[in-house]
Amino acid sequence: MDTTVRDMIAAQRAELAEVLAGLPAPRWDEPTLCAGWRVREVVAHITMPFRYGRGRFGLELAKSRGRFNEMADRVARRDAAAMSPAELAGAVRSNVGHPWKPPGGGYTGALAHDLIHGLDITVPLGIARPVPEERLRLILPGSLTDRSVRFFGVDLGEVELRACDMDWTLGSGTPLEGAGADLLLVLSGRTLPAGRLTGEPSARFSRPGPQG
């Protein structure tokens, strides 16, 4: 099982490295689905576990008094300013097989981390990169009590998420439909570009479209 998941992780990183290699320099400064982060900050964050050993990671966490989110934001902004797009892209490309996994999350957690942050980049940039269903199956929760649903704290009261490209639903209530990858982003607390979701609740989870 771990071998299969690690193969998926390697493929996910290789695909992202390919996207980044072809990204014109101005696009590295475009916003992503991670609030306040451009492409360069997201890539700095994705590659932080590859570039920081346990000791350095602990030191950075101590500087932020144990507040991980604060530390992650500070380090991502600092490294994004210090590293060139080529260096950031290279950090992805040279670590496709890196064995990092988040504490308590295992390799499935590592796959989720890379996949979600990859979508944070490609979706707002309008880069079509279909996510294989086998990867989504490992990450999408099976119930509203799943730990990943609780982690992001998204209010899915009276909403049923319904994938239009695979057999997967979650919750009960008014249907919110979209591709499985887009519904994963909804579960991750992201606000999606207009037009990617359908159904009455879509406005809750989407940015307003252009006014005509």
Dump pLDDT digits (tens) for 25-74.
999 999 999 999 999 999 999 999 999 999 999 999 999 999 999 999 99
**In the structure encoding, which two tokens stand for residue 115, read together?**
């996949």
Q: Give residue 35's pLDDT.
A: 93
- Is residue 205 within a helix (H) or strand (E), and if so which, with residue range? none
In which order are the strands placed within the sheet that holds 174-178? Answer: 169-171, 159-163, 174-178
Answer with the residue of higher pLDDT: 196 or 143.
196
Q: Give residue 212's pLDDT.
A: 43
Domains of the chain: 2-130 (1.20.120), 140-205 (no CATH)
Q: Give residue 211's pLDDT.
A: 45
**CB proximity list for 149: less than 8 A, separation 6 or greater:** 141, 143, 156, 170, 187
Answer with the residue of higher pLDDT: 59 or 142.
59
Check: pTM over 0.85? Answer yes or no: yes
